[in-house]
C-alpha cells in the first residue's frame, strides 16, 4: 500500500513537472519542433484505426437496438440515441482505449528503451531535463490529438450507424438525421471532446511515466508497456465516471433535466 | 569550502562518499581528489561501483553520505536546475554510449552544442564543430548514418565525438569504458585523443576502464576500486608493481582463486 501511494505520489510530481513545462514548450519554436513530429506520429497514424473503431461502434449499436426500438415503433429515433451515445461516451472512451494501446504502448516502449540504454541519463548529463525535452511534447500531442481523433470516431460512428439503419434495416434516412440533429447538442459533442482531452493527458503521462521508470532491460520494457496500457485503460474508465458526474451536475444546474426520446 | 579554495588545483573532490543500493554497499566512504588538467584512471573488476562513482560527479546519482565538490563548491546538494551549470562544463561518455536512436550521427554530436548555445551560434557553425569532432575520432563521412547502422566500436567513437565537440572543449570529461569494444588500433587512437585533449586544451579527465594498456598509457594516476573502497592509488608504474594481491592479480589479468574453484571442482 505504501509502495502504491509512493508510486502515485511520484507520478503526480512527474505529471506536474511535465505540465509546468507546457507554456515553455508552446511558447518556443524549438518546443513546436519537438511537438509537431509527435503530433504527426500520434495523429495521422491513428486515424484509420480510430475511424474503423468509430464506424463499427455505430453499426453495432444500431444492430443491437433496432429490434427493440422497432417493436416500440420508435425506430426513427434510434439514430439520435446511438449518436448521442457515441458523441458523449463511446467515441471518446473507445478512441482513448485505442490510443492507450496504439500510442501509449509505443511511447512507453520508446522511452523505456531510452531509459535502459542510458539515453535519459545522457540528456540529464548534458544539462537537459528529459521531462521538458521528451515528456511535455508527447503529453501535449496526446492532449491535442485525442479530441481531434475523437471527432473522426464520432463522424464515422454516425455514418456507420446510418449505413446499417438505412441500408440493412431500411430505416428512414431523413428521420435519422432529423432526430439526430434535434437531440445531439453541441454540449454533448463538446463534453465528449473535453473528456477526450483528459483521456489523452492520462495516456500521455502514464505512458511516459512507465517508460521513465522501467527497469531490467528488454523484459522490463515489455512489462512497462503492459502496465502502461492497463493503467491507462483503468484511468480512462475512472476519469470517465467522475467527469460524467461533474458534467451531468453542471448540465442539471445550468439547463435542467432533458428527455432524449 | 575554504579548504578547497586553498587548494584550487582540485577541480573535483569526493569526501567520504558512500552509496548503497538496497543492502549492497557500492561505495564506502570513498575519498577522491582530481587535480586540474590531469588524467585519473579508475580500474577495478566489473560491478565494483566505478560507474556509480563517475555518476556522482555530475549528480546523476547522489551520495547517501559524504560530499561531492566541483570547482570548490559543494554540489551534491544542488537541485537538478542548479546542477545544469556543472553538467555544461563536464562531459560524460557513457558505457553504453547512450546515442539518441532518433537522431543521425551529426545530430547526436551537435545536440549538446545546440542545447548549450541555444540559438547563440549558427547551425552551420555547430555542424562544422560536429564535423571536426567526428574527424578527430575517425568517423568523418558518417554524419547522416543512424546509430542503429553503426558497429559497437563506431558508436563508441561517435559518443566520444559528442563529448568533446564543444568550443572550447569541456573542462572535464568523464569516460566510462572508452576503449571497450574497440580494436587495439582504434583504442590507441582514443588513448592519444585523451592525451591530446589534456595537453592542448588542459582538459581534466577521469577514465573508468578495465583496459590496463589504456590505463598505463593515459593515466597520470591510477586508482583501483575494490570492495567499495580504493585499494591502490599511485602512478601507473607504482600500481603495476603493487604487492597487494588483489591489485597484482587484476593488473596481470589473473583470476581470483575462488573464481577458479568452480572450474576445478569435479
Give the pLDDT confidence of A228-240 residue by residue, as tens digits. Answer: 999 999 999 999 9
Average pLDDT over residues B185-196: 88
- B155 in contact with chain A, both atoms CB, cutoff 8 A: no
Output the CA torsion B178→B183→B186→B191 (10° steps): 50
Give me the residue from B55, B87, B99 closest to A126, CB to CB: B87
- Determine the pLDDT at residue B211: 87
Burial B4-22 (b: 16+ CB within 10 A, else e): beeeeebbbbbbebebeee
Own/partner contacts of A119-123, CB < 8 Å, gap of 24 or more, are A119/B98, A119/B99, A119/B100, A119/B101, A120/A212, A121/B55, A121/B60, A121/B94, A121/B98, A122/B92, A122/B94, A122/B98, A122/B100
Angle at B78 between CA A112 and CA B31, to 5 degrees: 95
- Determine the pLDDT at residue A196: 96
DSSP strand pairing (B172-176 vs B90-93): parallel
Listed by start position, the domains of chain A span 2-255
CB atoms within 10 A of CB B214: 25
Contacts of A235 (CB under 8 A, 6+ apart): A199, A202, A203, A206
Average pLDDT over residues B174-191: 88
Total structural domains within chain B: 1
Which is more confidently placed, A210 or B4?
Answer: A210
How far is CA B196 from its chain centroid?
A: 16
Residue B3 pLDDT > 60: no
Structural domain of B30: 1-89+201-266
Give the pLDDT confidence of A47-95 residue by residue, as tens digits. Answer: 999 999 999 999 999 999 999 999 998 899 999 999 999 999 999 999 9
Residue holding cell 448521442?
A84
Give me the residue from B94, B99, B115 closest to A127, CB to CB: B115
Q: Which three cell numbers stand for residue B242?
A: 603493487
- Determine the pLDDT at residue B266: 54
Give the pLDDT confidence of B52-98 residue by residue, as tens digits. Answer: 999 999 999 999 999 999 999 999 999 988 998 899 899 999 988 99
How far is the alpha carbon of B257 from chain A, nearest alpha carbon, in Å? Answer: 31
On average, the pLDDT of chain A sits at 93
With cut-offs at 50, 70 and 90, classify the pLDDT of residue B1. very low
User: What percent of chain B has pLDDT above 70?
Assistant: 96
Which is more confidently placed, A106 or A3?
Answer: A106
Residue B224 pLDDT > 90: yes
How many A×B Cβ pairs under 8 Å? Answer: 48
- Determine the pLDDT at residue A43: 85
Residue B5 pLDDT > 80: no
Residue B160 lies in a domain: no
Nearest to A22 by CA among A34, A12, A40, A10: A34
Are the beta carbons of B115 and A124 separated by less than 8 Å?
no
- Determine the pLDDT at residue B166: 84
Chain A residues closer than 8 Å to B96 by CB: 117-118
- Determine the pLDDT at residue B190: 87
- A20 in contact with chain B, both atoms CB, cutoff 8 A: no
Give the pLDDT confidence of A185-200 residue by residue, as tens digits. Answer: 999 999 999 999 999 9
Residue A224 pLDDT > 70: yes
Closest chain A residue to B84, measured at CA:
A127
Chain B residues closer than 8 Å to A117 by CB: 96, 98, 101
- B100 in contact with chain A, both atoms CB, cutoff 8 A: yes
Are the beta carbons of A117 and B95 separated by less than 8 Å?
no
- A28 in contact with chain B, both atoms CB, cutoff 8 A: no
Q: Which three cell numbers stand for residue A134?
A: 521528451
Cis bond before residue B168 (omega within 30° of 0): yes
Give the pLDDT confidence of B35-56 residue by residue, as tens digits. Answer: 999 999 999 988 889 999 999 9
Residue A45 pLDDT > 70: yes
Closest chain A residue to B86, measured at CA:
A127
Contact B86, B75 (CB under 8 A): yes
Residue B111 lies in a domain: no
ipTM: 0.87
Q: What is the CATH number of the domain that holds B42?
A: 3.40.50.300
Q: Which of A207-211, B166-170, B184-188, B225-229 has the highest mean pLDDT?
A: A207-211
- Determine the pLDDT at residue B180: 85
- Determine the pLDDT at residue B201: 86
* HSE value, Cβ hemisphere, 13 Å, CA-based, for A260: 13
- Determine the pLDDT at residue B169: 84
Give the pLDDT confidence of B228-242 residue by residue, as tens digits. Answer: 999 999 999 999 888
On average, the pLDDT of chain B sits at 89
Give the pLDDT confidence of A121-169 residue by residue, as tens digits. Answer: 999 999 899 999 999 999 999 999 999 999 999 999 999 999 999 999 9
- Determine the pLDDT at residue A260: 65
Task: Specify the DSSP class assigned to residue B173.
Answer: E
Could you give the CA distance from residue B136 to residue B133 in angstroms, rounded to a whole number? 5
- Determine the pLDDT at residue B2: 43
Residue A179 pLDDT > 70: yes
- Determine the pLDDT at residue B183: 86
Give me the residue from B55, B83, B98 closest to A119, CB to CB: B98
Amino acid at each position: 500500500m505504501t509502495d502504491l501511494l509512493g508510486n502515485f505520489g511520484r507520478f503526480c510530481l512527474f505529471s506536474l513537472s511535465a505540465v509546468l513545462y507546457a507554456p515553455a514548450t508552446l511558447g518556443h519554436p524549438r518546443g513546436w519542433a519537438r511537438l509537431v513530429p509527435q503530433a504527426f506520429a500520434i495523429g495521422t497514424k491513428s486515424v484509420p484505426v480510430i475511424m474503423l473503431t468509430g464506424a463499427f461502434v455505430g453499426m453495432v449499436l444500431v444492430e443491437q437496438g433496432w429490434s427493440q426500438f422497432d417493436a416500440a415503433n420508435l425506430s426513427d429515433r434510434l439514430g439520435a440515441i446511438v449518436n448521442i451515445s457515441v458523441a458523449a461516451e463511446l467515441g471518446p472512451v473507445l478512441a482513448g482505449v485505442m490510443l492507450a494501446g496504439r500510442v501509449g504502448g509505443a511511447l512507453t516502449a520508446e522511452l523505456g528503451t531510452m531509459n535502459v540504454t542510458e539515453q535519459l541519463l545522457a540528456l540529464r548529463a548534458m544539462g537537459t531535463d528529459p521531462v521538458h525535452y521528451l515528456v511535455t511534447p508527447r503529453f501535449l500531442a496526446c492532449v491535442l490529438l485525442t479530441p481531434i481523433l475523437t471527432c473522426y470516431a464520432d463522424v464515422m460512428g454516425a455514418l456507420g450507424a446510418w449505413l446499417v439503419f438505412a441500408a440493412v434495416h431500411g430505416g428512414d434516412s431523413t428521420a435519422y438525421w432529423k432526430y439526430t440533429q434535434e437531440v445531439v447538442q453541441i454540449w454533448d459533442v463538446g463534453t465528449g471532446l473535453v473528456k477526450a482531452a483528459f483521456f489523452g493527458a492520462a495516456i500521455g503521462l502514464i505512458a511516459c511515466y512507465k517508460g521513465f521508470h522501467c527497469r531490467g532491460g528488454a523484459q522490463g520494457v515489455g512489462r512497462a508497456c503492459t502496465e502502461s496500457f492497463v493503467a491507462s485503460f483503468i484511468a480512462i474508465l475512472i476519469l470517465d465516471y467522475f467527469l460524467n458526474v461533474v458534467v451531468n451536475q453542471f448540465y442539471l444546474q445550468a439547463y435542467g433535466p432533458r428527455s432524449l426520446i | 569550502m575554504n579548504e578547497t579554495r586553498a587548494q584550487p588545483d582540485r577541480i573535483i573532490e569526493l569526501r567520504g562518499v558512500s552509496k548503497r543500493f538496497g543492502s549492497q554497499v557500492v561505495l564506502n566512504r570513498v575519498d577522491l581528489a582530481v587535480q586540474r588538467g590531469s588524467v585519473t584512471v579508475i580500474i577495478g573488476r566489473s560491478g565494483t561501483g566505478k560507474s556509480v562513482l563517475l555518476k556522482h560527479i555530475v549528480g546523476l546519482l547522489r551520495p547517501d553520505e559524504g560530499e561531492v565538490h566541483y570547482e570548490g563548491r559543494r554540489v551534491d546538494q544542488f537541485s537538478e536546475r542548479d546542477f545544469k551549470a556543472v553538467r555544461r562544463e563536464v562531459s560524460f561518455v557513457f558505457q553504453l554510449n547512450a546515442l539518441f536512436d532518433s537522431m543521425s550521427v551529426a545530430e547526436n554530436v551537435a545536440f549538446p552544442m545546440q542545447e548549450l548555445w541555444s540559438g547563440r551560434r549558427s547551425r552551420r557553425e555547430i555542424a562544422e564543430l560536429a564535423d571536426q569532432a567526428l574527424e578527430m575520432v575517425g568517423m568523418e563521412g558518417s554524419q547522416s548514418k543512424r546509430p542503429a547502422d553503426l558497429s559497437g566500436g563506431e558508436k563508441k567513437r561517435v559518443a566520444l565525438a559528442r563529448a568533446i565537440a564543444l568550443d572550447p572543449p569541456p573542462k572535464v570529461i568523464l569516460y566510462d569504458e572508452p576503449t571497450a569494444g574497440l580494436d587495439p588500433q582504434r583504442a590507441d587512437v582514443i588513448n592519444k585523443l585523451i592525451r591530446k585533449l589534456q595537453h592542448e586544451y588542459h582538459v581534466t579527465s577521469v577514465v573508468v576502464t578495465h583496459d590496463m594498456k589504456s590505463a598505463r598509457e593515459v593515466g597520470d594516476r591510477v586508482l583501483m576500486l575494490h570492495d567499495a573502497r580504493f585499494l591502490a592509488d599511485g602512478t601507473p608504474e607504482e600500481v603495476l608493481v603493487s604487492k597487494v594481491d588483489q591489485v597484482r592479480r587484476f593488473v596481470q589479468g589473473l583470476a581470483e582463486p575462488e573464481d577458479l574453484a568452480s572450474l576445478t571442482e569435479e
